[in-house]
Chains A and B, each alone.
Chain A
Amino acid sequence: MLKNYLKVAFKVLGRNKFYTFISLFGISFTLMVLMLTIAFIQNELGANKPLSQKEKILLVPGLRMEGYAREEIVEIDSTMVDGAWKYDTTKTENILEDQINSTSNSWVGNKFYENHIKDIKTAALTSVFSPMQSIDVFPNDRKLTLTTNATDANYWRIFDFEFVEGQPFSDAAIENQAFQAIMSKSAAQQYFGKKASYLGEVVTWGKLQFEITGIVKDINTSIPHLKHDIFIPYTHLPPSLLDYGWGQFGNMQLALLGSSSKQLETIRSDFRFIEENFEVQEEGYDKLTIKERTIEELYANNVLQNQERGSDKTLRWIVLVALLLFILIPTINLINLNSTRIMERSAEIGVRKAFGAHTGNLMSQFLLENVVLTGLGGLIGLGLTFFAMNWLNNSVWMENTQLAFNPNIFIYSLIVVLLFGICSGLIPAWRMSKMDVAKAIKRNQL
């Protein structure tokens, strides 16, 4: 039975090459885009190093201060005292919390971290770091611009960078302002030239000299806070960078590690508690807000160009709906093509029915035909994906991205292919196999 169906399936494909081409092209192209999209998302948001723990990480990229509008209410009480009016004025200042008068946003100050965040009980680890600056260095009298990050020791416990050699900063190294540096492999190569080992080499940074104690693998994610050329202990930062001296602002950002993604909610409610009990000293300002974000929220903020918490959910919906629409279009197209094509075969269907095929037989035949078609499309799609990934990975304008052809993607796409086959085959097949035998035979000739 299967062999008979397969024979017909391949014959049908060969019979109308244009239709087959359109179908295969639709399927394989859709699949390719789908798989590239998933690969791209995985590259950005997958549990890859140094974000293996990304579900449990809360970042604080900055703080916000708000001052509310005020209205002065003047009440005048008048009383008659000894035949003359006496006026009593009471002034009350009313804070209008729904009218924001002034706002100020910046990064986090080190003092705020030490006083309020560092020892927060709900977090397993807290880290402070300063991922802002670019510096110019001059190895062999050649100008090289490096992006820098000044970190504490916990930074390396929260973000699990892959060390090619050496190790992260120890607590003691941070405490003692050790002149140590960690470099990314590519930066080290640019600075020192290609070498088997860079440990013990010295980077000159202005008047300071740092000894290389670790080399990390370059990372793919486009999330800021992580991708830097050189890392030094944050205790080298001048006080004016650690704290700006106004508000709670400074040049720092924070990272907190919870015990689970759910537990991040507890940390967040601790933040709300801190905000509520925080007395803002600055003139005209009333409220301090900690702008914490999960990695995914931060990524969604970047993509959607907004500042909202919960953007990750919005982005997820947008991506999901977009992908669904993207699959839907060729599926509908296929259903359409299938419907017309299957009409041409009504006589075959009628004959098969006359000789004893029931709806189930015909359904399985047409489904098989579609699975063969989509399977072929799937294979071509896989090939195309492989090709496109290779090309993208080697192209210059996607240097941040290293799309990987992983088995997960393969499974996803297999499911999609199957859905394709079933969706595009089921409806026309069902309609057709329900058709009256007499009508089907009459309809046309083989």
Chain B
Amino acid sequence: MIKLQDVTKVYRTDTVETLALNNINLSVEDGEFVSIMGPSGCGKSTLLNMMGLLDRPSDGQVTIDEKELKGYKEKALAKFRNEHLGFIFQSFHLIGDLPVVDNVELPLLYRGTSAKERKRLAEEALEAVGLKNRMKHYPSQLSGGQKQRVAIARAIVGKPSIILADEPTGNLDSNLGNEVMDILLSLNRDRKATIVMVTHDENMALKTNRIIRLYDGSLVN
């Protein structure tokens, strides 16, 4: 379970102060598929970053699986992310210098899994997204939809309990977007993965259990 209590995030630059999140209270239950919607710049990514422990709140606290993460040091946070969280980004963020299989293995690399086991698990994850025959390809040789499926394989290879997806279909046409959405739905259904997804697409959001709406850094009821 992800729990946000009074979470506020302020970005400070030399000249401006942006209140990106304003006193957010919400929780996501285990096995839930939640979508976050709202206009551009309203703080959706910031909210997801809070849940993904990629950034620290200016105020309030984030709890995942009953663990209060405020006091965690950088190294402990990295370990926690590695074991519990999987990420999918709008622009895929695959490492272009590495072939597909190495990209998928990435989370296992930082877990100290043996090379053989990494390969086996990566194959398994790629099979789940239907790309087992593209293992040796490089990201540049794949289409957008294929890239995002590789990114999904990378997000699930370590069997995290939570998957965080920031506009995963934003860069894809509707056909490919639906393909990706179907994979996410089946992950939620078959693997009981908790998924939080940011999306602009009302139709996609409607397929999830719950829609959280954000406006100007605050939740809208």
Contacts and interface: CB of A to CB of B under 8 A. Distances in A.
**A associates with B:** yes
A438 B55 contact: yes
B122 to A, nearest CB: 12
B106 A11 contact: no
Contacts of A438: 45-46, 49, 54-55
**Of B45, B46, B109, which is in contact with the most chain A CB atoms at under 10 Å from its CB?**
B109
Contact of B55 (A351, A355, A356, A436): A436
A7 B82 contact: no
Contacts, number: 86
Contacts of B173: none
Contacts of B106: 351-352, 355
Interface stretch (B36-44, B89-97, B181-189): B89-97
Interface residues of A, number: 30
**Of A352, A442, A445, A446, which is in contact with the most chain B CB atoms at under 10 Å from its CB?**
A446
Nearest to A433: B74
Interface stretch (A91-99, A357-365, A412-420): A357-365
Nearest to B91: A445
Interface residues of B, number: 35
A356 B97 contact: no
Nearest to A352: B106
B78 interface: yes
B98 A4 contact: yes
Given A4-B98, A446-B94, A446-B95, A354 B110 contact: no
B217 interface: no
B95 A356 contact: no
B200 to A, nearest CB: 18
Interface in B80-111: 81-83, 85, 87, 89, 91-98, 102, 105-107, 109-111
Interface in A408-446: 436-439, 441-442, 445-446
A356 B107 contact: yes
**Of A4, A12, A15, which is in contact with the most chain B CB atoms at under 10 Å from its CB?**
A4
Given A1-B109, A4-B105, 15 more contacts: A11-B98, A347-B93, A351-B106, A354-B54, A354-B81, A355-B158, A356-B110, A358-B74, A358-B75, A358-B78, A436-B55, A438-B49, A445-B91, A446-B91, A446-B92
Contacts of B98: 4, 7-8, 11
A441 B88 CA distance: 12
B79 interface: yes
B111 A356 contact: yes
Contact of B74 (A3, A355, A359): A359
B62 to A, nearest CB: 14
Interface of A: 1, 3-4, 7-8, 11-12, 15, 347-348, 350-361, 436-439, 441-442, 445-446
B154 interface: yes
Given A4-B98, A350-B93, A441-B54, A355 B154 contact: yes
Contacts of B87: 351, 354-355
Closest 6 CB pairs of A and B: A356-B82, A11-B97, A356-B110, A358-B78, A437-B54, A438-B55
A438 B83 CA distance: 19
B102 A7 contact: yes
B26 interface: no
A444 to B, nearest CB: 9
A3 B115 CA distance: 10
A365 to B, nearest CB: 10
Contact of B109 (A4, A12, A354): A4
Interface string B150-162: 0000100010000
A200 to B, nearest CB: 74
Contacts of B158: 355
B53 to A, nearest CB: 9
A445 to B, nearest CB: 5
**Of A347, A358, A359, which is in contact with the most chain B CB atoms at under 10 Å from its CB?**
A358
B52 interface: yes
A3 B119 CA distance: 13
Contacts of A442: 45
Contacts of B102: 4, 7
A359 to B, nearest CB: 6
Contact of A351 (B46, B74, B85, B95): B95
A445 B140 CA distance: 13
7 contacts: A3-B115, A8-B98, A358-B110, A359-B74, A360-B75, A361-B110, A446-B92
A3 B109 CA distance: 11
Nearest to A7: B98
B160 to A, nearest CB: 10
